[in-house]
Amino acid sequence: MRQEPSTSRRGIRWVRRARAALSGLLAGYAALAFAELVSAFVRPQAGPVVAVGSAAIDRTPASVKDWAIRHFGTDDKLVLQLGILVVLAVLAVLLGLLALAHRATGSAGVLVFGVVGAAAALSRPDSTGAADALPSVAGALAGGLLLYGLGGRPAVTGPPDAVPVVRPGGERPVAADDTVPPAATPGEPGWDRRGFLVAATAAAAASTGAGALGRSLNGGRGRDAVASRADVLLPAPGSPAAPVPAGARLRVPGIGPFVTPTKDFYRVDTALVVPKVDATTWRLRIHGEGVTRPVSLSFDDLLRRAAIERDITLTCVSNEVGGPYVGNARWIGVRLADLLAECGVTPPSKGGPADQLVARSVDGMTIGSPVDDVMDGRDALLAFGMNGRPLPFEHGFPVRMVVPGLYGYVSACKWIQDIELTTFDAYDPYWVKRKWARRAPVKTQSRIDTPKPFARPRAGTVMVAGVAWAQRRGIREVEVRVDDGPWQQARLAAEDTVDTWRQWSFPWQAAKGGHTLTVRATDGTGQVQTALRARTIPDGASGRHSVVVTVD
């Protein structure tokens, strides 16, 4: 048949393309695997995916970050890393195809990714120096060499185990095993099919081995930290939290628990790899303007101080009206104000030179709080315990700040290692550089936990219930409105403290049909929660939570 040759040529072209694409993917895989291995000798955070992901997080506009948090919640980091991997896979395939036509150029393209990864790693605020570039560079070299090698043309077009035999008489090389299919089609560059398969399999196996070794070494790095956490004995607080009043917990099905279980406590941070800090080597430095007696404290130094225990509701500025980024926990730690006073710090309202306290974490986060707020008598904590246990790594082990009444991004530095006294004029911390407000006290808010949006309760008495919070001011009243009806008093659970949220419930005589339930709170100063809607940026969402239900 006439068509046959052209059909098989087309077939060969496709085989070559498929091989090239596979070579690209393998090169990308090898690059990431070897980068993982090398990162185990530098720091896991210096690995290219984490470095590029973190650099992307740092550069994400506030609105996109908000969108990501809204849509993916705490999974936003997983989604980001998967996204990076998908993009890398596509680019790897393209580089493989490029290498088919321009072997050196395609292979060199892999090195460009190494440069990008290295630049990202070096640009991180927690970068510890030039070594952070090594994982990306080493990975890219491995990937580039592999792509070059897989595109290579062996000396003869036989399978690699078909050792060419050159007879003394000078005959032409012959394949040692003539059952092997004939050598690659003339003109096709590179390995024959079997040679390619062997080389590709070997490369995949070596990469998998390198990556697995890197993984396990990286995992091992955290062992000291895990051991140090297991060894922590929380001190009995000299000033325990008053027991939560029995009336503070409502028994309404569907309402969030008064104390948020640690495993359900929201998590918001920029860390792609949760920092694992060894408490035995951890230190906290306090220094800066007006600090007449700077100190560097160990974890044991902190544990030896008088501990206090407090119930404090923590809120994220990214929480939408009705959103989940708010939680209430029992914290144990030391009073930050006492420590600051011992260091000679005077709040600006009493003539001190520094009005901003900048907390720095081991992962380079900076969080600025007003010195006046931290020292005004509220229970601002350097916390090492949460709900009776040492802080979980996700929530800042070994030590974090917790300041009642301020959103987390201006107060609640996790994995803290440094406190610097400075001024708002002199320094903008991480989120302020990204257009969030310098000062952000928590806004009065209330939320309907039950019924859920679009629920279909039966007509009759329906329990509407939820929480309301206005840390520092407390909650005085909660009201519910059905459709455009009058505001009606909800029953308030007992108050634990002004720094904790308050549960409320409202027995609603529900008539059939569609209804909108709306809630509003009044804080301890008599201020009614505003109906004015504000976005989360720059200083927290406002407006009232509504839930639409259909009564059957």
Ligand X SMILES: Nc1nc2c(c(=O)[nH]1)N[C@H]1C(S)=C(S)[C@@H](COP(=O)(O)O)O[C@H]1N2
Q: Are strands 326-335 and 366-370 parallel, antiparallel or unpaired?
A: unpaired
Site string for ligand X, 115-154 (x = CB under 6 A): ----------------------------------------
- By a kind-dependent CB cut-off of 5 to 8 A, residue 412 interacts, out of ligand X, Mo ion, none, with ligand X
DSSP class of residue 11 equals H
Q: Contact with Mo ion (CB under 5 A): which of 117, 151, 396, 408?
A: 408
Torsion angle (degrees, nearest 10) of CA 543, 545, 550, 552? -140
361 binds ligand X (CB under 6 A): yes
Which CB sits closer to ligand X, 395 or 520?
Answer: 395
At residue 265, the 3 state secondary structure works out as: coil
How far apart CA 517 and CA 487 sit, in angstroms, is: 10
384 binds ligand X (CB under 6 A): no
How far apart CA 27 and CA 40 sit, in angstroms, is: 20
| Residue linked to tokens 């399978």 | 159
How far apart CA 296 and CA 277 sit, in angstroms, is: 16
Cα distances (Å, whole numbers) of residue 249 to 497, 501, 503, 523: 13, 11, 7, 19
Which CB sits closer to Mo ion, 397 or 409?
Answer: 409
Angle between helices 134-150 and 3-39 (to 10 degrees): 160
Q: Contact with Mo ion (CB under 5 A): which of 50, 95, 316, 332?
A: 316
How far apart CA 462 and CA 207 sit, in angstroms, is: 60
157 binds ligand X (CB under 6 A): no
413 binds ligand X (CB under 6 A): yes
| Nearest residue relative to Mo ion (C-beta) | 316
409 binds ligand X (CB under 6 A): yes
397 binds ligand X (CB under 6 A): no
In angstroms, what is the minimal distance from the CB of 30 to ligand X?
Answer: 33
- By a kind-dependent CB cut-off of 5 to 8 A, residue 397 interacts, out of Mo ion, ligand X, none, with none
In angstroms, what is the minimal distance from the CB of 437 to ligand X?
Answer: 13
At residue 475, the 3 state secondary structure works out as: strand
404 binds ligand X (CB under 6 A): no
Which CB sits closer to ligand X, 113 or 430?
Answer: 430
412 binds ligand X (CB under 6 A): yes
365 binds ligand X (CB under 6 A): yes
265 binds ligand X (CB under 6 A): yes
393 binds Mo ion (CB under 5 A): no
| Nearest residue relative to ligand X (C-beta) | 408
Burial grade of 32 (CB within 10 A; 0-12, 13-18, 19 or more)? buried
Q: Are strands 283-288 and 416-422 parallel, antiparallel or unpaired?
A: parallel
Q: Give the distance from CA 536 to its chain's centroid.
A: 19
Q: Which residues bind ligand X (CB under 6 A)?
A: 265-270, 314, 316, 361, 363, 365, 395, 408-409, 412-415
